[in-house]
Amino acid sequence: MRHVAFVRNLNQGQRGHVTTADLVAAFVEAGCHDPAPFQSNGTVVFAGDAERAQDAALVLAARAGVEREIFTLTLDEVRAIVTDHAPAPDAARRELTLHAGGPITLGPRAQDEAARRRCTLLESADGWTVTLNERERESNATPVIERLSGAAATSRGLPTLARLIARLGHT
């Protein structure tokens, strides 16, 4: 089975961050098969067990001194989210946020918190939420979801995920 790993707060090649080669090596050492990095934002598609991504986090910490949370979804789950949200006229302003908590309740309290950060919560399931930003090219969901879930989170824009599926989403 293929998975997508989303490494939190990792910009490959920037000062203080690991290189793409180091990131791929950590996934290989952790037992992930055929890790393929996508862009330079800590997104990796790999084959094997999802738990291996957590092992990659430990390898990164041990080898590079970089401690980062890694969240995973199956490639099929990412494809389904993209398929559901890409046809929307506002798709360019949507983003997927992964987190360690369960589903976020999309009630008034959560929507008020999102509105303070100029976004709206659209859909939530175990470990992920899709949001809509007020403006294009903004990413506001991570702090909202971290506050609501009480756990670390990381986000990727829907256009980025659509490109990922187009490039690496073949079965």
Query: Is the pLDDT at 171 greater than 60, yes or no?
Result: no
Query: Is the pLDDT at 11 greater than 90, yes or no?
Result: no
User: What average pLDDT does this structure show over 31-60?
Assistant: 94
Residue ranges with strand state E in 2-158: 2-7, 33-38, 43-47, 70-74, 94-99, 119-125, 128-133, 153-157
Domain ranges of the chain: 2-68, 76-168
Q: What is the pLDDT of residues 116-149, one digit of tens each?
A: 999 999 999 999 999 999 999 899 999 999 999 9
Tokens 């390898």, residue located: 59
Query: Is the pLDDT at 8 greater than 70, yes or no?
Result: yes
User: What average pLDDT does this structure show over 146-161?
Assistant: 95
Q: Across the strands, what pairs with 46?
A: 3
Choose the CATH number for 76-168 among 3.30.70, 2.40.10, 1.10.3470, 3.40.50: 3.30.70
CA distances to 96, 126, 134, 166 from 144, rounded to whole Å, are 12, 16, 14, 29
Give the largest CA-CA distance in the chain: 45
Instruction: State pTM to two decimals.
Output: 0.93
Nearest to 5 by CA among 31, 40, 37: 37
Task: Give one word for 53, left, alpha or beta, with left for phi > 0 and alpha for psi -120 to 50.
Answer: alpha
List the structure tokens of 28: 């290989």
| Radius of gyration over every alpha carbon of the chain, rounded to an integer in angstroms | 16
Tokens 């990164």, residue located: 60
